[in-house]
Every structure is written in C-alpha cells, then in structure tokens.
Copies of this chain bind each other. A is one copy, B any other.
Amino acid sequence: MSPSSKERPIGIFDSGVGGLTVVKEIMKALPRESIIYLGDTARVPYGIRSPETVLRYSRENARFLISEGIKLLVIACNTSSSVSLQHLRQSLDVPVIGVIEPGARAAVAKTKNGRIAVIGTETTIRSNAYEQAIKAINGSVEVRGIACPLFVPLIEEGWIDGEVIRLVAERYLSPLKYDNFDTLVLGCTHYPIIKHVIAETVEAGLIDSAIETAREVKKVLEANDMLNRSGGQPSRRFFVTDAPEKFREMGRRFLGHELTSVSKIVLGGE
C-alpha cells in the first residue's frame, strides 16, 4: 500500500452514539489514524427493524463511508454486525470488522470455567449472536444472555453514577452472582460507559467489546501493512443523519471531550 493510501481514514458506523465507545478505544490504540464516523441517528434504533431493512441501512452507511475514501470499515453496532457483516465483507474492497467476533474471541480466551455471560439490549440477546459466535469458537462453553433494556436510556440520560444505575445494575446482574459465570461480555457499545458500575456489581472478568474491537482493528491494519506512519495531524470527522446538536452533547459524554466536526447528511430512503 502506498504511504498516501495509508493516510486514508478508518470508517466506523453505528445506528446512533453507542459506537463512539469504539471510536474512543481506536483513538487510544491508534492515535495516528484518521477517523470518520457515521451515526444513523434518523433511523435509530436498528434493533426493532427487520433484517432486510437493517441490511439496506448498513449498505447505505457503508457506501457513504466508502465514498469518503476509508481504508477499513468498522461496524460498531451489534444489530448491524450480526445481520450485515458477511454481506459487507463480500461486497466491499476494504477489510470489515464487526463488534461481536472480537468480544466473543476475547471471552473464550479469558474464561477459566467455561461459563460466559453476555449482557446487551433485548434485540441483541434474543438474536443469540454472541452465543453463536462463542459456540463457533468453542462449542463446549456455556453461554447465558441477559437483556438489560434500561441501561441504554440511563446512559443516554447521563445517569451513569449514583443510586439509580446501581440499583438497576444490581437487579439485572444479581442472578449472575449465584451461577458461577467467571466472564461477562459487555455486548452493547453503550455499556463501557457504566463499566465501573458493572464491575462493582459482579465478580466476573469483564470483556469490553469496544477495546477488543479496537485491538482487532490494529491487528488487521498491521497485518495488511496499512498503519498510517506519516507524522501529520489525524482528522476526526463525525456525520449523523439527524439531530447533530444532540449527538454533539452525547458525544462529550462518550468521548470525554467536545466533538468539533459534526455534520448532518442525508442517506437514501429514510
């Protein structure tokens, strides 16, 4: 790959703001890489849409990022990863990484007693996407999924500390205490924001899909000799399909600093 090609940005899309936890970890692991992020906030949440619709949205998101010249695509959305990863891998000329496989692999590597719990939105848990990914790596591992539907609204409301989030976490996660799961996968890109609360509530080792996905991105860029080694200032650009102000506000909470460049774009359909 030519040096100038290596300077091309990493493309990341999610249905909303959750994927920003993945952006944060990629910025930490690969500080010299430029990033372009698309949050499809006009059509969030993907979890309640049909697979056909999610695939169509995902293709439109990917097409936009490809047109911006990305060198690698990250699907930072659980629903889209489970539905469209294979399709996008086949149809695109750049490497494509989802959020489910890296977390599943890390969990299998970490568990000592072969008992892994996964928490996520109702849609992710019902889809059994993590269970399938984990079983594909090691069929003898036992997997339990627990839906935690209130975590996302609490995080988006900013109630990430204090009594309410602790009580909610206790209520969702206390069944795990008695069942001897030694590994817990944060199977939703929002959850790293309340990792401190979850860590206080359960004894298990936590797998942060955002960190694992960032590691995977680094590995793939290295393996393909695609790391940006130029000394230039990397750019970070953010696009949404609706409500850029709200995204900017939420972005501060997710990334820990102001998002300077947030633009609204229109994608096909609605």
A156 to B44 CA separation, bound complex (whole angstroms): 18
Number of A interface residues, CB 8 Å?
Answer: 22
A44 neighbours in B (Cβ, 8 Å): 48
Check A270 against B153 for contact (C-beta < 8 Å).
no
Does A136 sit within 8 A of B, measured CB to CB?
no
Does A167 sit within 8 A of B, measured CB to CB?
yes
A159 to B181 CA separation, bound complex (whole angstroms): 26
Does A157 sit within 8 A of B, measured CB to CB?
yes
Check A153 against B164 for contact (C-beta < 8 Å).
no
Check A270 against B53 for contact (C-beta < 8 Å).
yes
A242 neighbours in B (Cβ, 8 Å): 48, 50
A133 CB to nearest chain B CB (Å): 25
Check A164 against B157 for contact (C-beta < 8 Å).
no
- CB-contacts of A122-161 with B (<8 A): 149-150, 153-154, 156-157, 159
Check A157 against B163 for contact (C-beta < 8 Å).
no
A42 neighbours in B (Cβ, 8 Å): 48-49
A153 neighbours in B (Cβ, 8 Å): 149-150, 153
A163 to B42 CA separation, bound complex (whole angstroms): 34
Taken residue by residue from 163 to 179, chain A's Cβ proximity to chain B (1 for < 8 Å, 0 otherwise) reads as: 11001100100000000
A201 CB to nearest chain B CB (Å): 14
A156 to B171 CA separation, bound complex (whole angstroms): 16
Taken residue by residue from 212 to 243, chain A's Cβ proximity to chain B (1 for < 8 Å, 0 otherwise) reads as: 00000000000000000000000000000011
Q: Which residue of B lies closest to A171 (CB)?
A: B164
- CB-contacts of A100-124 with B (<8 A): none
A48 to B168 CA separation, bound complex (whole angstroms): 26
A241 CB to nearest chain B CB (Å): 11
Show the binding face of A for B, using Cβ within 8 Å: 41-42, 44, 48-50, 53, 149-150, 153-154, 156-157, 159, 163-164, 167-168, 171, 242-243, 270
9 A-B contacts (beta carbon < 8 Å):
A41-B48, A42-B49, A48-B243, A53-B270, A149-B153, A149-B156, A150-B150, A150-B153, A164-B171
